[in-house]
């Protein structure tokens, strides 16, 4: 009888992670207030797949984030809360997005970030995302990390560049935006060997 091959189960990462100024930890239900506050700002959600969150939208985002603790399969996510001086100032996401074959572990993952605008311009998002990039390549068997964003999202594009990601592609009108139109996508990528050599 043929044995069904399955991808290996990946362990949960060891958290929290401490950087010079920040702590990265799992998201907990008590983070609802902080997430709700920065996701209530239309400037923050402008380029996100969701608009300003109402109560139900916030509940479903919190449920997804709190449940995203130990990704192992393609499509699964790690969500992290970023704290500065005991206050949650933003969140990070790592989504396992592709594998060589159905039986191998994911080898490509996508990064995402949302930060409270009250702490913008201090390098916190860069410091936190750098720690997530290091975690991604040390903990997961990844070959490539990528980020996809609206090319008009300049703060996010600059963040990708500070992380050493390369601007690899600009695809035209491939994303159905929330205004009923089409947006372009900028693709940024970082290969394991580039991260290791940096
Ligand atoms: C994308 C986002 C996280 C970037 O935030 P940010 O404040 O620009 O990023 P940082 O916290 O890393 O701060 C970087 C800025 O601080 C400056 N800075 C100050 N001290 C710094 C330090 N110690 N280290 C690095 N940068 C520092 C940098 O020069 C940079 O300024 P610049 O962009 O004018 O060059 C934020 O704009 C955001 O949450 N946007 C909304 C959500 C969103 O669109 N997410 C992406 C969807 S694809």
Separation in Å, CA 119 to CA 8, 122, 124: 39, 7, 8
- 34 close to ligand 1 (CB < 6 Angstrom): no
Q: Where are the domains of the chain?
A: 17-149
Classify domain 17-149 by CATH number: 3.40.630.30
**Closest by CA position to 53, among listed 64, 70, 35, 40:** 40
Other Cβ atoms closer than 10 A to 121: 8
For residue 104, how far is its CA from the centre of ligand 1 (angstroms)? 35
Per-residue pLDDT at 27 = 98
Residue-wise pLDDT for 144-186, tens only, equals 999 999 999 999 999 999 999 999 999 999 999 999 999 999 9
Question: How far away, in angstroms, is 119 Cα from ligand 1 center?
Answer: 9
Confidence band for 4, pLDDT divided at 50, 70 and 90 = confident
Give tens-digit pLDDT for 116-130.
999 999 999 999 999
Residue 47 Cα to ligand 1 midpoint, Å, equals 15
Query: Per-residue confidence at 2, pLDDT binned at 50, 70, 90?
Result: low
Query: Is ligand 1 within 6 A of the CB of residue 96?
Result: no
Is residue 26 scored above 70 in pLDDT?
A: yes
Q: Give the per-residue pLDDT at 157.
A: 98
CA–centroid distance, residue 11 to ligand 1 (Å): 31
Task: Please write the tens of the pLDDT for every residue from 81-93.
Answer: 999 999 999 999 9
Measured from the Cα of 124, ligand 1's closest atom is 11
């Amino acid at each position: 009888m043929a044995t069904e091959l399955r991808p290996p189960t990946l362990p949960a990462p060891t958290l929290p992670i401490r950087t010079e100024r920040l702590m990265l930890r799992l998201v907990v239900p008590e983070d609802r207030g902080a997430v709700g506050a920065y996701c209530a700002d239309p400037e923050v959600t402008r380029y996100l797949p969701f608009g300003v969150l109402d109560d139900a939208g916030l509940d479903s985002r919190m449920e997804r984030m709190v449940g995203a603790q130990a990704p192992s399969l393609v499509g699964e996510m790690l969500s992290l809360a970023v704290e500065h001086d005991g206050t949650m100032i933003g969140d990070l996401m790592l989504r396992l997005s592709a594998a060589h074959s159905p039986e191998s572990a994911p080898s490509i993952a996508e990064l995402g970030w949302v930060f409270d605008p009250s702490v913008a311009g201090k390098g916190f998002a860069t410091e936190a995302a750098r720690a997530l990039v290091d975690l991604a390549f040390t903990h997961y068997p990844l070959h490539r990390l990528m980020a996809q964003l609206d090319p008009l999202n300049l703060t996010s594009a600059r963040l990708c560049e500070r992380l050493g990601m390369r601007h690899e592609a600009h695809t035209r009108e491939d994303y159905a935006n929330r205004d009923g139109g089409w947006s372009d996508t900028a693709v940024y990528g970082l290969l394991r060997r580039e991260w290791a050599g940096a």
